[in-house]
């Protein structure tokens, strides 16, 4: 997306109407949510846990700001990212279309310790009791 931006901003007025305006109209998040935009890790460093650490850092930052709900959007065909988000407690709340592309909107509730509400985290807590 970032790579596409310079081209997008140099677009003529017709392109602006077609590409930029629908983007501005799309509601990617609800007011009061902590929104994660464009999570990405360089290909050579993937599957090493960096994406997970970034999600945990976002949860902590959101918690510190007093925000209990985190949201993001992901393409439904991005199975790897979807799997990662679900593992971290995110669930699908709906579908949306942005600039002609379909996305799933996902949300995660952060508990008072700043940790995500994933089943794994909950299960490890139950085991402690």
Ligand X SMILES: CC(C)(COP(=O)(O)OP(=O)(O)OC[C@H]1O[C@@H](n2cnc3c(N)ncnc32)[C@H](O)[C@@H]1OP(=O)(O)O)[C@@H](O)C(=O)NCCC(=O)NCCS
Contact positions toward ligand X, by CB under 6 A?
39-41, 46-52, 74, 78, 80-81, 83-84, 87
Name which of 43 and 66 has its Cβ closer to ligand X. 43
Distance CA 129, CA 35 (A): 33
Name which of 100 and 112 has its Cβ closer to ligand X. 100
Name which of 13 and 47 has its Cβ closer to ligand X. 47
Residue 39 beta carbon to ligand X: minimum distance, rounded to whole angstroms: 5
Residue 32 beta carbon to ligand X: minimum distance, rounded to whole angstroms: 21
Backbone angles phi, psi at 117, to 5 degrees: -90, 30
SS3 content of the chain, % helix, strand, coil (to 5): 45, 20, 35
Name which of 51 and 89 has its Cβ closer to ligand X. 51
Q: Given the DSSP bridges, would you call strands 91-98 and 69-74 parallel, antiparallel or unpaired?
A: unpaired
Nearest CA among 82, 122, 87 for reference residue 106: 82
């Amino acid at each position: 997306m970032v790579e596409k931006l310079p081209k997008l901003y140099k677009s003529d007025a017709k392109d602006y109407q077609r590409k930029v305006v629908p983007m501005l109209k799309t509601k990617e998040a609800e007011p009061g949510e902590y929104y994660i935009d464009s999570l990405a890790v360089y290909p050579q460093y993937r599957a090493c846990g960096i994406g997970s650490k970034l999600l945990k850092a976002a949860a902590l930052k959101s918690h510190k700001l007093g925000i209990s709900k985190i949201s993001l959007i992901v393409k439904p065909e991005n199975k790897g990212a979807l799997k990662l988000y679900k593992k971290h407690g995110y669930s699908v709340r709906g579908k949306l279309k942005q600039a002609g592309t379909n996305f799933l909107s996902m949300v995660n509730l952060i508990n008072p310790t700043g940790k995500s509400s994933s089943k794994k985290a909950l299960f490890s807590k139950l085991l402690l009791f």
